[in-house]
Structure 1
């Protein structure tokens, strides 16, 4: 049996989501539309926050980088998926496969800690509003942002480094639409027990660590909100957290389903549905969630439109 690793690298073959050409065509159109909305939505969110000075606050600082991360890891996955669907070329080189895996883990882990930073920001804003400007200083925000990227880089580096030590001999056909840990491990003829433990530890610590921070923040927020006497005050406090809480729920539910379980329980159909959601759909949903359900963003858009209309009248 032929064995290969990073020293003798043939291409992998990405089998995609389905063998049916008709379904592939439908999905390719759907994914292309989703990707276009993702690009426009996230770039639009970044530009709105950059242009409108009233949105230059810690919450929108983190939201800007959330849009950057969403746009980046969607771009790392979706174009190659579309190429596989629309052409006969379904191959991806060994190097590009692990590069795609590295970028995805880096950005997904970074997003986890960005979401926890946003939850901490809401916790300080609602539970300790008088000290908010001091606690959430530019230096603190930069430290939280840097920490998110550093943890993501460490997570992805150690995970991918452990996987490139494996030998593959079963097949070079990946039963998935992008390079992910579970389908790659299923192709290895090495003992993957240690690698699976490493992946589980890092994925678990990243997901659960950030989720505990988010949960703790929202328990404190809920307790504070329930003690507010004013009904309008409660509604305002809930509205500031609703968008973030919805985004967190959608993102973490699919990640937990995919990564916090043994590799042997890998199921192609279920894994792919969950993977489509957090790699392709969620990057599109986030800017919609944070804009359509956010009064400040909608007000910023209105101000920009009025400003543009005013400048046209002057011309």
Structure 2
């Protein structure tokens, strides 16, 4: 079981959509984030005069599933952010709506450290695939001593831990569905539980699994050949998956070309069905036929009964 951690959040101006700082116990890193509308206040903070890495985040008008992200480094982040805030024709960047800055409380991060961190983070963000990077490819910085590289690897893991807490998911590792043997599945039934969804009228059958709060539909599952529901809800998601090549045409239906994660069982059920659907009813447990909702209710009731009074 993963060990718990304490993250200290501080609302600088007392509002949830203003400047926010975050720290992890026993970590020298310090995170400062805020909307672009608060940039004039953010650049006046002492953290912005330090050496650090920063993330510029904004929506991708061509892809509703993933944000646009730029990862940078500087020994004077305030100056760099001012440059990025210029109009695009003057060398700035227009896409971003939010900025996140990571520095060190003990100010021991050097220019070499942040260059190496930038390279690691660009590479990691590309591998995770939850965003579209503006940077392009990562540069290789191999001039750090072995001990410093180990320190930066640890530093990066803390960054990857705290950013999702701040609503920045693009570095969060994707937990792929496992393919356990029957013996492993029997020893860990909750971790390996599979669900299925069938629409016999249209010859559809999809299988999936819930992992770390996300619902995965497995590669090879069949979905409706086109969206037939109302022009709202998950139609945009369905169309985006078709454009991305996740849903590929096949004999009047569409087949999942890879395992695909969804924010909820209902989102997954809607994409499979081509229309709005209640995932708590549509998905059923393989082997028992229980609906997802019945299974979840059973888990909650069992946990409540086992809780000490």
Question: Where on the TM-score scale, by shorter chain, does this alignment land: which range?
Answer: under 0.3
TM-score (norm 2): 0.22
Task: Name the structure with the higher strand share.
Answer: 2
TM-score (norm 1): 0.22
